Structure 1
Amino acid sequence: MVTTESSITLYQRPDCPFCWKVRLVAFETKLTIREIVVQLDKKHPDVVSLNPNATVPVLVDGDLVIIESAQIIEYLLDQCPEIQLMPSSPKARAKVRQLHHYSDSKLGKVLFPYIKQKRDSPTHEASAEVKESTRLAWFDEQLILSEQLGQSEFFAGHFSVAECALIPRFCLAITHGLAIDESFQNLHDWYARCAARSSFLKALPEQFPGLA
């Protein structure tokens, strides 16, 4: 729950996938969090003073400052042990952590060049070379994820941090013209299940109304 009255403050940018996944977790936990929105092209003075990298998300709770999104998520989940966004078994937890890291690193790197071009020049097409290379790489990553998902409803058997990390990447890809390939029906069904959750709608950036 995002509010203006809370001991926890989150500096974030709505369309940043690292911030987006934190918002998803926050809405799943229903924690009361004070949200401060940071603009892409402006350095917020608080963020500059709190984070040497001057990037978001940044979470502040009293004298505690956390500047890494994965650690922010762990901290939020520690506040709500009854919310099962991490599986109970060690192997399943390891799988979720691997998917989380994969989303932040491999999947993010595959999509970023094309999405950045589209974001920075919304009235112009991305270069044909970048568009085609991203399309092919995006297909390959969907194949990997489809095989991992199999016939399960969610990657850990239930909605988890894996979904919170992956959904923003899928939303950004879809928004910028990289749809889920029709070959991967299980990913289409998985996305629909995620999109039906109230946390999905609450965390969705206002500039992406077509995803609701």
Structure 2
Amino acid sequence: MIRFHKEGYKIITIALILSVIGILLVEKFIDIPWLVKTIQIVIIVFLIIILQFFRNPKRVAPTKEDVLIAPVDGKVVVIEEVEEPEYFKDKRLQVSIFMSPINVHVTRYAMSGIIKYSKYHPGKYLVAWHPKASTENERTTVVIHNNSFGDVLYRQIAGALAKRIVNYAKEGDKVAIGTDAGFIKFGSRVDLFLPLGTKLNVALGDKVKGGEQIVAQK
């Protein structure tokens, strides 16, 4: 059974109502059969796109504390040592996962632990792969601590199409690996900032599955 994320309930309901109205109105006011069918197909395709975007498939996360999983579905587009200026203010290993509009856009906690930091930043809507997107786009920054990895930062970044980031992390919360951490609407990126020397299980260009695929381990 297909599950949908709660952030999409309102949009899905509106899309369903408008689709039904559109299909009925086309039949009533247009007398050209091929044109009626064409418009109805376009309406149905639009509805399917909305439904697939807000799907929320069930994922089974590993229960071990010494692993870190992909927080989202997508493609690994960055693996490099960088200076993280907001929280750590030192060098970290950055792993960036780009989500296209057809990917599942649920953000899940990459590991279990305690939320030490959670902050929203308004900003621009540069394309998600732009080098300055991590520091200039609308984004949220969250830091989780556990005994295996210490502090790990993840950053939800809005893209050119994303107009809203939803972040459920609150400082002091105890969170479980693989559970719902938020949602990014319509295309975006998530950056992970890990301790230097972290052993990665992914490489550039890999497609990862959020909520269950191991990205790093101790």
TM-score normalised by length of structure 2: 0.24
TM-score normalised by length of structure 1: 0.25
Higher-RCO chain (CA-CA 8 Å, sequence separation at least 6): 2
Which structure: greater strand fraction?
2
Which structure: greater helix fraction?
1
When Rg is computed on C-alpha atoms for both structures, the one with the higher figure is 2
